Chains A and B, each alone.
Chain A
Amino acid sequence: MIVELRKSDRQKLNMSKKQAKKQLKNLQRCLKHLSALVGHECTVSRLPSKSILLGNAGHANGIGRADVVSLLQSHLDESSYKLYFPPDKQFSILFTQDICESIVDMINATKIKGNILYCAFLSEDLSFEISNEIKPPGLKLFGDIISEEFEGELMELFLEHSKNRSSSQDELKNRVTLHYGYKFDYKTNLVDLTAPLEHPIPASVRKVLGIIQPHISITPNQLTVNIYQPGQGIPKHVDTHSIFTSEILSVSLGSDVVMDFKHPTSGKVLPVLLPRRSLTVMSGESRYLWHHGITPRKTDALQDVVERQLRISLTLRECTPDPCTCNFPSQCDSQNYGKPRYSVEDEEEGARLEEQYVSAVYEEIADHFSSTRHSPWPGVVKFLNSLPSMSLVVDVGCGNGKYLGVRSDITVVGNDNSYNLCSICQDRGHEVFACNALNIPLRPSTCDSVICIAMLHHITTPQRRVTVLENLAGLLTPGGLGLVTVWAQEQHLDLETTESCRPCPTDGTEEGVGRRHFDSQDVFVDWQLKKPGSVPDKSGSKLYYRYYHVFVEGELAGLISQVPGVELVEVTYEKANWCAVFRKL
């Protein structure tokens, strides 16, 4: 990291070496925070760039947009730059339209509201994506939905209710809440649907519902009113998946406020300004995946520092007895937060899981998935190379077809349940058809060999796994060999050997996600879908989960032993996968 305080700057400020050292530390801390915000390491540079770090000029220093604008006004035209203030940080970022070589020299080490500004060019131009216009996916905001007069009436009504207790209310540690329709239980984060409240949703809020009708797709039957004094907030949370439906609505009264949305795995925080008299609709990722909350503080700042006023929010939700089937199991109580409680035994449930967490996901991620699967795995190539010339081979679950063209003197026909993956194979000149491995439309005893690579672990029940293996065996002519590989729960069995002591390359294991740790055999594994060509910024990606059953030692051999008419040839462990070869009798 190239950060230093120049002697000339230090002299200009009459700063001691010790003070300078402290400044340096501050700046390094700014870079660390910035790196966390953008998702990769940020450094400063002597070469001019269009992104400039303004250390000591952040909201945490009590400095807002107006302060920086007034500092810059004699140097830069206000229309030629943008400013970004990360929440609660001791720095801001200046984005200039063109490279302005002299700007750092001009404003460096000047005083701004008693703070010594220290600035430096960043070594790469950050995109505006980190600016505060970005919202989590699925979040919609509608401004000015009610008049100031109506806002006043509503606020008066709820302040009245909070005094005379004409509703079910809670004095929480940090705010007062009122409930209508059903009571939200803060201990269980659930609603008792068998006990509707005597206070229904008030008529004036019904009027609000009429106004917002065009923007929403749920029918709210529960209202929670939060009364926030300036300085109060609400801890970050995801509204319980099981009890509330697909949208969470919030109408803001009395004050603007900044709500923070935090991504649970990347840790990225997106602050979003909720203006008074606006409607916020959380749906999709913003409802199911991102955690949202309001930091308790008396002022908010996105561009300028604004004092909070008394704010009343109307949270409108639709309670349901049906379990949630969202695509975000890691946050979903109906789906045990992505950790199946038990192995799946039920066939229907198994089929449903495969459809939702395997088939549908691969259709979506096919292109990105394929772009990460280019090098054929040596174990599979070795098997294919051992086959007699002119063999006819079927690759069940062929993915992007990386094994279909390994040898020119054998004919390999591929199939996959993902039509989009089949298309990729077809574009590469391979022979493929789309089908499910549980029901393969081929005549029996037609193939010399069959391979099934990194597919069987997507099948959810033991019975269904045996069915797939029976199907593979059925395709073989007598004496024909089959190769099956699956992901292992044991991820490190071979790490003593010299070969695999090397760092794992991206496509090193068949699964290509590096070594993992599995607490359970039935797991959901995430896939960050990156849009083609996008920078590795989490906001440009979408999260998917794929179902896996990871195999333990002996399990694959056990399944093969249940298949009539085949004998096990060998089982090996390679790069966190179990591989079995069997022969048709």
Chain B
Amino acid sequence: MKLLTHNMMRSHCKGVVNGFPLKLSSSQVDVKEIEFNPDFINRMLSRLEWPALVQIANQLGVGEGLPEMLPEEQKFEDEDVLKKIHHVLLEVEVVEGELECPETGRKFPISKGIPDMRLNEEE
């Protein structure tokens, strides 16, 4: 699971208000090199929940150099910053771990890189 996916996800348990961000605990995190595309990163910025991204990146120890705030125009010019965001969003992958709904505490395992977000019909 890439951190882009984590940032897009929210809990979908019954009765949840925001369900975001999902808490993460991880026992294996890998890095996979992905081709850098600054335009894609800038395009994604407006979709991201920035504080949640910074928080999870810091938690995983990959947040260094990530700006605390998003500029008003939701765009970065500095290529080093964009590369840093690219790395955090697309190259860092949680392989083994667990996601947890912030409101209900329902846990979702991540195994071999795949979060299992399936709920029972009544959940």
Contact = CB atoms under 8 A, between A and B. Distances in A.
Nearest to B47: A446
A431 interface: yes
Contacts of B112: 423, 426
A413 B7 CA distance: 13
Interface stretch (B36-44, B53-61, B64-72, B75-83): B36-44
Given A413-B8, A440-B12, A441-B9, A433 B116 contact: yes
A443 B44 contact: no
Given A351-B121, A392-B44, A411-B40, A442 B114 contact: no
A409 B36 CA distance: 11
B87 interface: no
Q: Specify which of A431, A433, A436, A441 lies most central, judged by the most chain B CB atoms within 10 Å of its CB.
A: A441
A435 interface: yes
Given A390-B37, A390-B39, A439 B119 contact: yes
A411 B5 CA distance: 11
A434 interface: yes
Contacts, number: 73
Contacts of B1: 431, 433
Interface string A293-306: 00000000000000
Contact-size category for A: 20 to 34
A90 B2 CA distance: 66
Given A413-B8, A426-B114, A431-B1, A436 B119 contact: yes
A436 B8 CA distance: 16
Interface in A523-540: none
A46 B30 CA distance: 61
Nearest to B2: A431
Main SS of the interface on chain A? Answer: mixed
Interface in B1-25: 1-2, 4-5, 8-12, 19-20
Given A446-B47, A477-B47, A435 B118 contact: yes
Given A426-B113, A439-B12, A440-B12, A392 B118 contact: no
A422 interface: yes
Nearest to A436: B118
A303 B119 CA distance: 55
B115 interface: yes
Contacts of B121: 348, 351, 355
Contacts of B8: 413, 442-443, 446
B9 A442 contact: yes
A468 to B, nearest CB: 14
B85 to A, nearest CB: 14
Nearest to B21: A443
Contacts of A423: 112, 114
Contacts of B37: 390, 409
Nearest to B12: A441
Contacts of A245: none
Contact of B10 (A351, A409, A413, A441): A441
A426 B96 CA distance: 13
B12 A390 contact: no
Interface string B102-113: 000000000011
Nearest to B43: A390
A226 B86 CA distance: 76
Contacts of A441: 9-12, 19, 117
A377 interface: no
Given A351-B121, A390-B43, A431-B2, A443 B116 contact: no
A478 to B, nearest CB: 12
A339 B5 CA distance: 41
B114 A422 contact: yes
A389 B112 CA distance: 29
A70 B55 CA distance: 85
Interface string A335-354: 00000000000001001000
Q: Which 4 A/B pairs are nearest by Cβ-Cβ distance? A: A435-B117, A441-B12, A390-B40, A433-B115
Interface of B: 1-2, 4-5, 8-12, 19-20, 35, 37, 39-40, 43-44, 47, 49, 90, 112-119, 121
Given A422-B114, A423-B112, A443-B20, 14 more contacts: A390-B39, A392-B43, A411-B90, A413-B8, A423-B114, A426-B113, A426-B114, A433-B9, A433-B115, A436-B119, A441-B10, A441-B12, A442-B10, A443-B49
27 contacts: A389-B39, A390-B39, A390-B43, A392-B43, A409-B37, A411-B90, A413-B4, A413-B5, A417-B118, A419-B114, A422-B114, A431-B5, A433-B1, A434-B115, A434-B117, A439-B12, A439-B119, A441-B10, A441-B19, A441-B117, A442-B9, A442-B10, A443-B8, A443-B9, A443-B10, A445-B47, A477-B47
